[in-house]
Structure 1
Amino acid sequence: MTAIDLNSDLGESYGAWAMGDDEAMLSIVSSANVACGFHAGDPLGIWKTVKAAAEKGVSIGAHVSYPDRVGFGRRDMDVTSAELTADVIYQIGAIKGVAAAAGVTVGYVKPHGALYNRIAHDPKQGQAVIDGIKAIDRSLVLMGLAGAPILELAQKSGLKTVAEAFADRAYTPGGELVSRRETGSVLHDTDLIARRMLQLAQEGTLEAIDGSTIKVDAQSICVHGDSPGAVAIAQEIRRAFEADGITVRSFLKA
Structure 2
Amino acid sequence: MSKESLPMFKFIVVGDQSVGKSSFVKQYSESQFIEGMSKATVGVEFVKKLVIVDKRRVELQIWDTAGQEQFRSMIKSFYRGAAAVFVLYSINQRDSFEKLQDWLSELHESAHEEIIKILVGNKSDMERCVQKEEAEKFMNANNFSLFFETSAKTGENVEKAFVEAVKLVIMRMFTSESFKNSIKTTKKTPANSKQNTSRSDQPIQEVTQSSSKPIQLQTQNNQENNHAKKQCC
Q: Which TM-score band applies after superposition, normalised by the shorter structure?
A: 0.3 to 0.5
Bigger strand share:
2
| Structure with more helix by fraction | 1
Relative contact order: is structure 1 or structure 2 higher (C-alpha 8 Å, sep ≥ 6)? 2
